[in-house]
Amino acid sequence: MVSVASYRFNNDLRYRGEGHEAQRQLTPPYLLEPVRKVLGGIGLDPCTEPDNPTNAERFYIEADDGLTRLWWTVDWSPSVYVNPPYSKAREPWVKACVAAGARGQPVVLLIPSHTDTRIWHYAMRSVDQVCFLRGRVKFGVLRENRRQEAASHPSALLGWNVDLTPCRPLGCVIAVGHTK
């Protein structure tokens, strides 16, 4: 007999593969509007869908592999919004956001607020502000029971070189006092 605890701590279940259908979810409009205000519009969304639901000036879809593309050039340093895949697949995206923030680009990242993970702490060493979102992100997709599909975890918006104050209606905004 398998105990409940062994099921809960089975990393094969917790870390879905990159190709799993539940890896990617579109950012709902109620989150996108404050993010657009913070960024003054979204210059680049490096991991979106073909119909560009964020209305970014420039965007990359999965086939483009936004991680291998330049997020800036000498004459183009856009604001960046990233809603990466879930699970361990998000780790290289977090690292790319940290690098973009270090270059001075305005960046907002939607991420599970798993404050016990290494990747969370890696991001927190350089982020300027955090907005811990109230409740679970609701994706606007109705399930059979007519309730909205929601994230299975709490989430946060991390901001580099931006003021997340316009996101206060979404949750608690905290400035992070770190030394660069």
- The pLDDT of residue 5 is 46
| Domain membership flag for residue 44 | yes
Per DSSP, the residues of 120-142 read: HHHHHTT-SEEEEESS--EEEEE
| Domain membership flag for residue 72 | yes
**DSSP 8-state assignment for residue 5:** H
Indicate the SS3 state at residue 17. coil
- Rounded Cα distance between 176 and 123, Å, is 11
pTM of the model: 0.82
With 70 as the cut, is the pLDDT of residue 53 above it?
yes
Q: Report the mean per-residue pLDDT for the chain.
A: 83
| Domain membership flag for residue 12 | no
84-105 tens-digit pLDDT: 987 778 899 999 999 999 999 9
Q: Which residues contact 33 (CB under 8 A, 6 or more apart)?
A: none
The fraction of the chain above a pLDDT of 90, given in percent, is: 56
Query: What range defines the domain where residue 102 resides?
Result: 25-175
Q: Which helix (H) or strand (E) holds 13?
A: helix 11-14
With 50 as the cut, is the pLDDT of residue 42 above it?
yes
Strand order in the sheet with 171-175: 58-61, 44-48, 80-82, 107-112, 155-160, 129-133, 171-175
| Domain membership flag for residue 39 | yes
- The pLDDT of residue 146 is 59
Specify the CATH number for the domain of residue 154: 3.40.50
Please indicate whether residue 45 or residue 150 has the higher confidence score (pLDDT): 45
- The pLDDT of residue 171 is 95
- Rounded Cα distance between 77 and 115, Å, is 30
Contact by Cβ (8 Å): 82, 93: yes
Mean pLDDT of all residues in 10-29: 57
With 60 as the cut, is the pLDDT of residue 115 above it?
yes
- The pLDDT of residue 177 is 67
Please indicate whether residue 110 or residue 152 has the higher confidence score (pLDDT): 110
| Domain membership flag for residue 9 | no
| Domain membership flag for residue 51 | yes
| Domain membership flag for residue 140 | yes
With 90 as the cut, is the pLDDT of residue 158 above it?
yes
106 — pLDDT class (breaks 50, 70, 90): very high
With 90 as the cut, is the pLDDT of residue 132 above it?
yes
Per DSSP, the residues of 37-57 read: HHHTS-SEEEEE-TT-TT--S
**DSSP 8-state assignment for residue 147:** P
Query: Domain tally for the chain?
Result: 1
Indicate the SS3 state at residue 168. helix
- The two tokens of residue 68 are 């291998």
The full length of the chain comes to: 180
CA angle at residue 102 from 101 to 106, to 5 degrees? Answer: 25
- The pLDDT of residue 170 is 95
| Domain membership flag for residue 2 | no
